Structure 1
Amino acid sequence: MRDQETKALLPLRALMALAVAGLALGDLLVKSAVVLTMGQGQLWDLGVVNVRLAYNTGVAFGLGATLSPWIVLAATAAIVAVLAVYLYRAAPGFNRVSRAGAILLLGGAVGNLVDRTDGSGVVDYLHTGWFPTFNIADVFVTAGVGLLVVGSIRTPALAPKEEGR
């Protein structure tokens, strides 16, 4: 029975993995385009949000920027791996909103993780002037967490199974 359940879930998990890979790839392509077309500190004024190349050697809001890049990379990789395993196992029980959140969260996390592997930090390029510079992967992570929260609120808890059934 367990093997049949696992086989039935493969298409869902494969589709989610493909979506995660697509988001991460899209993030990395945008970062590459920004790096290839802009010098560090150069600014493209788009109104509310500007494009400005910056490198974040830390994690959220530059925390950990003084740590060795390889320590930050290893810690980030461990967190992403644990998150991926959790989402792989839990996603079949998620509603559509939570699944979308899981895909966004993991896609953004993987994009930033891969970007970090060269040792120079994560490419950030979205600048508001009132918030730390960020990138589309950060938007994916934030939106993903939000959707996971909304999805968990919208889904009623499953009734516990009665013994003997």
Structure 2
Amino acid sequence: MGGAGVLTLVDLGLKALAQTALPAGQVVDLGWISLRVFYNPGVAFSLGASLPAWMVIAGTGLVLAGLVWYLLANVRAMGTVARGGAVLLLGGALGNFVDRLGGAGVVDYLHTGWFPTFNAADVFVTVGVAGLVLGMLREPPSGMRDGDTS
């Protein structure tokens, strides 16, 4: 799952770049998407934004610990698509968790105008969940691939 670490670093690098390149309030219009920095103190869709930061960090930390435990316990039984989804999911979740530890909230910078502002980690998580679920539904467990029906 080293790929998750690489994705975490990519996400954190993009967030740092957005914060450096986009001063407060500046918007760069790229057509169907624009770039602007927004700090989300909550979780998805700003849920829990009014909670104390320590509570959001503790809650997301517990969810992340459960996710890591589940993925490590099941990675050997996962097929290629499910493993790829797991790597994306874990990389995105770690990126947002590490970013959250700074106290200001998660840095979001991609804005469509019709959807809440988001970041690369959110894309990794969304695509990762889809890949993990699809892979687990469509691929046989790794021990069942060679005609083993037991």
How does the TM-score come out when normalised to structure 2?
Answer: 0.92
Q: CA deviation at 1:28?
A: 0.1
What runs of 5+ residues in structure 2 fail to find an aligned partner?
Answer: none
With over 3 angstroms needed to count, the CA separation of the structure-2 counterparts of 1:36 and 1:153, relative to structure 1, is same
What runs of 5+ residues in structure 1 fail to find an aligned partner?
Answer: 1-15
Q: CA deviation at 1:42?
A: 1.0
Aligned partner of 1:150 in structure 2 is 134
Aligned partner of 1:141 in structure 2 is 125
Aligned partner of 1:49 in structure 2 is 33
Q: Which amino acid aligns with 2:30?
A: L
- Find the partner of 1:101 among 66, 72, 85: 85
Q: Which amino acid aligns with 2:118?
A: F
- Find the partner of 1:88 among 63, 72, 83: 72
How much is the aligned-residue C-alpha RMSD, in angstroms?
A: 1.3
Q: Which amino acid aligns with 2:127?
A: A
Give the % identical residues: 51
Q: Which amino acid aligns with 1:52?
A: R
Q: CA deviation at 1:39?
A: 1.7
Q: CA deviation at 1:156?
A: 3.8
SS at match of 1:53: strand
SS at match of 1:40: coil
Structure having the higher Rg: 1
Spell out structure 1 runs of 4+ moving beyond 3 A: 156-161
SS at match of 1:64: coil
Q: Work out which structure has the larger RCO, using CA pairs closer than 8 Å and 6 or more positions apart in sequence.
A: 2
- Find the partner of 1:68 among 52, 60, 72: 52
When the two structures are aligned, how many residues end up with a matched partner?
145
How does the TM-score come out when normalised to structure 1?
Answer: 0.84
Q: Which amino acid aligns with 1:74?
A: A
CA deviation vs aligned residue, 1:118-157 (integer Å, no higher than 9, x gap): 1100000000000000000000000000001110221246
Aligned partner of 1:131 in structure 2 is 115
